[in-house]
Amino acid sequence: MLPIRTLGGILSSTQAPTLTLSSDGAATVSIGDTVTLTATNVTSSVSVTIARVSGPSATLSPSSVTVAPGDLVKTSSATATSAGTLTPQASATIGGTLVTSNVLSIVVGEAPAAPVAGNPQVTLISSASGSLPFTAGFSFRQGDIPSGSGIVVSGATAQATIKTTWPDGSAKIAILAGTYVSAGAAVTITMSTGAASTGTALTTSDLQAALTDAVTVDAGAFGSASWTGTDWASPFITWVSGHRMSSWIYRKQVGSDAHLVAWLEVRLWSSGAVEVLPWIENGYLLVTGPTNKSATTSVSLKIEQLQRHFNIINFCC
């Protein structure tokens, strides 16, 4: 659709009226561009016709709009039937004189590809073999998973947690998590509507039992933040709660620094696998002394250690 907005007004009764068309300049078939008609020096109501000069066929509805002195916005629309360069022009008889606008040029592209039929799928691949944990975010088309329906995951021992929905209540974004059997080749998992897999959700008590050693984020001279034992019982947010995988987000101040905060997302699978995703925030602009900071930051978990050099730029969201 090509919505057409009309602006009208009086500048001076001694100046000649003008009509001007403008637009964003591009559209696709059936998904149109915004076209604005600006009318100046109009002293009485006039009927303005907007018609195709050349290019692909386009249906204008309505094909004319009435501009009255002091009008702000009126709307029409047009739909192009094929790709090409569509050139509409506005015209009106004002005070016995035919007034025409510029000829506008709108590039109309091909229509978006139709959605692929069938159930949505995700392909997993790893060079390792065995039963492997995984987590993936997935965006559904509107209506794929209707409101109130569960998501059945085939091809893996997994759950699907719906995080956001479309206006009609159908699933929009979900987090898939569980385990799949890998033999070093690609494995395809499929989502469909049905009775979702259920069970007792993994809790922070399960995490505390699985993660017995401390997780430490060390920012050198700025200090460190560490989690262990009962720290896991008090997450900042429970992001996913499920029987195949649960995920929690934690935050702590780095040392005594007034600006640096260490964050962790910690995932626990029913198999006992644990994944820790760390990051550092330097985002308090309203706290005294905000500034960029440079540090070699290390994250340690049991016998594994990751060390990286970061320029920690001050930002705020």
Q: What distance lies between CA 235 and its chain's CA centroid?
A: 26
Cβ count within 10 A of residue 316: 10
CB 119 within 8 A of CB 140: no
Last residue of a domain, one of 169, 194, 219: 194
pLDDT value, residue 156: 95
pLDDT value, residue 66: 85
Give the distance between the most distant pair of CA atoms in the chain: 89
- Report yes or no on 68 lying in a domain: yes
For Cα atoms 37, 42, 48, give the angle at the middle one, nearest 5 degrees.
Answer: 45
pLDDT value, residue 17: 85
Helices (H), the chain: 204-210
Same domain, 93 and 127: no
- Report yes or no on 241 lying in a domain: yes
Same domain, 189 and 232: no
Same domain, 175 and 208: no
Same domain, 170 and 249: no
Residues 6+ apart with CB under 8 A from 304: none
pLDDT value, residue 18: 86
- Report yes or no on 114 lying in a domain: no
Last residue of a domain, one of 109, 141, 167: 109
- Report yes or no on 116 lying in a domain: no
Q: How far apart are CA 11 and CA 205, in angstroms?
A: 73
pLDDT value, residue 170: 92
Tokens standing for 156? 């893996």
- Report yes or no on 166 lying in a domain: yes
Q: Can you give the CATH number for the domain in which 67 is found?
A: 2.60.40.10
CB 64 within 8 A of CB 32: no
pLDDT value, residue 260: 93
pLDDT value, residue 302: 63
Same domain, 70 and 139: no
pLDDT value, residue 9: 43
Q: Output the pTM of the full model.
A: 0.62
The residue assigned the tokens 């569509």 is 86
> Which has the closest alpha carbon to 160: 174, 147, 148, 139?
174
Same domain, 189 and 209: no
For Cα atoms 316, 248, 189, give the angle at the middle one, nearest 5 degrees.
Answer: 110
Last residue of a domain, one of 176, 194, 212: 194
- Domain of residue 268 covers 204-312
- Report yes or no on 235 lying in a domain: yes
- Report yes or no on 213 lying in a domain: yes
Residues of the chain with pLDDT under 70: 1-14, 25-26, 28, 30-32, 70-76, 78, 111-117, 302-317
CB 260 within 8 A of CB 280: yes
Q: What is the pLDDT of residues 98-128, one digit of tens each?
A: 999 899 888 887 766 555 667 899 999 998 8
Same domain, 216 and 307: yes
Same domain, 214 and 292: yes
